[in-house]
Structures are given as structure tokens and as C-alpha cells.
Amino acid sequence: MAIQTVKVTINGTEHTLEYNSTTQKWEKTITAPTTTSYNKTGGYYPVSVTATNQAGTSNTITDADNDNLKLVVKERILPVITLTSPSSGAYVTNNKPPITFTVTDELGGSGVKESTIVLKIDSTTITTTKTSITNGFQCTGTPTTALSDGSHTITITASDNDGNNATTVTSTFKVDTVPPTLNITAPTNGLITATTSVTVAGSTNDSTSSPVTIAILVNGKDNYTATVSSKGEFSKAVTLREGSNTIAVTATDSAGKTTTVTKTVTVDTSTPEITSVTITPNPVDAGETMVISVEVS
């Protein structure tokens, strides 16, 4: 008996096939479901085929009868890796900094495959804690061995359950555990001067986190900044008050680490007053000694 119709049902939608005399098969080009089958029972869309002859007799087979009717649909959207900390180019003062990031897939996608999430620092794989969040994972990895001061590179890779590889994330940061050097050449500590203006001068350097900034605090309230040259040298004129003055110079590197040197300078602008002078004896014999006595206030 001749076949009258062949129909296929996929994801609840029925499609009528057409007979191809060349291939002698019933065929139709059908658009696949737009959502991955990963989350479906068994990981596939069940397909059923019903053939009906001219007498109206039908026969239906399903995925339970033929594995070829188990339609696997894969998404093509890549999961996304987002690095949270440290940011690219950041300076960190901790030599075991936690690396935090997320890996997410699109809503309704196959989901992030947890075992594919890999964090590396300078090609060394870092053990990562993964906590489930909507459509993915929140991840944290901390080096077990202290990182050396200087530049380091983060590399993060991941895939979804349909085999789509996320765009690899790479980022660099610097570890700086050492504060900048600071040498004050002027003024000398304990200096006594008759002028209310002195020059604060010195040199600074930080091999990891240059450039270094200089801040000068006079008597706890007068703030000055000094420009540091390419050679690490600086100088700045500051104003002092009569009496004892405290000058605190602080060098701060790009990682926020600081070094402070404090100097004490006394300003004395008073003029000495000679209140009395005596010479004893006076007159004095030639070649003899005498005593000169001066009283100053």
C-alpha cells in the first residue's frame, strides 16, 4: 500500500515531510529548537515519526524505538569570564592575593562545566573554590606559595557543558611588599636657624612600584607636596614658626606603601642683648692679665 503522509514531531511541533523521488526518502529541512537539549531528560529532544498509508493505517516510532530519534541540540553562545580582583595593572601589598572572578552562561544555556574552570598565575594552576550562582559560579583562588615582588600574570579558562570555550581572560598585576626608600639630606635633625623658611630635600625610590610621591607635613597641619625627578630627587621650601618645628616627610609608592622620616628644626629669630660689660682690673699693667665679663640676655 502506498504511503500517503509522513510526519515528524519535534519538541511538540509537527512537521509534514515531502517525498524525494531522487533519494526515495521522505525529507524536510527543519529548524532545530533554539535552546540546548543539555537540560532535557536524557540530554536530548525526543522525536517521533508517524507514517500513514492511503488506507489510513498509521505506524509511529519514537526515541524509545530508535536512538536516531534522540535529537541532541547544542548552543553556540560562549560562557563569559569576568575578573573581579585584582584589576588589570593593580598593585597589591599581599604576596598571597585572592583572585576573584565569575564564570556565567546565558539563561537557559547548557551551563558552565565546573571541571573546566582553571585559574593560573604565571603558568601555575591555583586551587579554586567555586560557589554556584545564577547561570554559573563565583570563584576564588589564593596562591599557597608567596608570590615574589614584581609583575605576575593571571590566566583563566572555562567551558560550558556543550563544549563552548569562553574567551580566555589574561591580566597582569604587581605585588609590592616593600615600602619605598627615603633619604632626607636637608634639613639636618636638630637644626637651629634664624630663618622661617627651610628647604626639605632628599631622594626616594621604589624598584617595584614607581613613581613615588612625596608629602611634607609641618607641625601636623601644613601640607606640602614635592615633585620627584626621574633620578628620584626632590626639594621643597617650607615655612616654619618660631620655636620648635616638626617636619614629617612621607614617601608613598604606587602600591600605597609608605615610608616616613621626621626631622626637628628650631627657629630662633631673637637678637641677643648685651646688658653689661666689665674689665677687671681696668686700668691694667702692661703684660698683666685681665678679666672681661659680659652679661647677655
CB 207 within 8 A of CB 222: no
Report yes or no on 105 lying in a domain: yes
Q: For 57-116, write each residue's pLDDT tens digit.
A: 999 999 999 999 999 999 999 999 999 999 999 999 999 999 999 999 999 999 999 999
Instruction: State whether the Cα torsion 161-166-168-171 is positive or negative.
Output: negative
Which of 175, 205, 231 is the C-terminal boundary of a domain? 175
134, 168: one domain? yes
Residue ending a domain, among 131, 151, 175, is 175
Are 108 and 170 in a shared domain?
yes
Q: Residue 107 CA to chain centroid, in angstroms?
A: 28
Q: Which residue segment(s) compose the domain that 194 sits in?
A: 181-267
**Per the domain annotation, does 294 fall within a domain?**
no
Decide if 27 is inside a domain.
Answer: yes
Question: How wide is the angle at C-alpha 216 spanned by C-alphas 195 and 240, nearest 5°?
Answer: 20
| Amino acid, res. 78 | L
* Under 8 Å between Cβ of 103 and 80: yes
Query: Is 91 found in the same domain as 63?
Result: no
Q: Select from 175, 199, 215 the last residue of a domain.
A: 175
Shared-domain flag, residues 259 and 186: yes
* Residue 281 falls inside a structural domain: no
- Pick out the chain residues at pLDDT < 50: none
Please tell me whether residues 129 and 193 are part of one structural domain.
Answer: no
Q: Are residues 194 and 171 in the same domain?
A: no
Q: Which residues contact 104 (CB under 8 A, 6 or more apart)?
A: 79, 80, 82, 112, 133, 134, 135, 136, 137
> Are both 255 and 241 inside the same structural domain?
yes
Q: Could you tell me the strand order of the sheet in which 222-226 lies?
A: 191-193, 258-267, 243-252, 213-218, 222-226
70-97 as b/e: b if 16+ CB within 10 A: bbebebeebbbbebeebeeeebbbeeeb
Quickly count: other Cβ atoms within 10 Å of residue 189's Cβ. 11
Residue found by looking up cell 569562553 in the block: 166
Residue-level pLDDT at 23: 94
- How many domains does the chain divide into? 3
Is the CB of residue 155 less than 8 Å from the CB of residue 172? Answer: no
Query: Domain containing 133 — which CATH number?
Result: 2.60.40.1220
Residue 33 lies in a domain: yes
Do 88 and 168 sit in the same domain of this protein?
yes
Residues 13 and 65 in one domain: yes
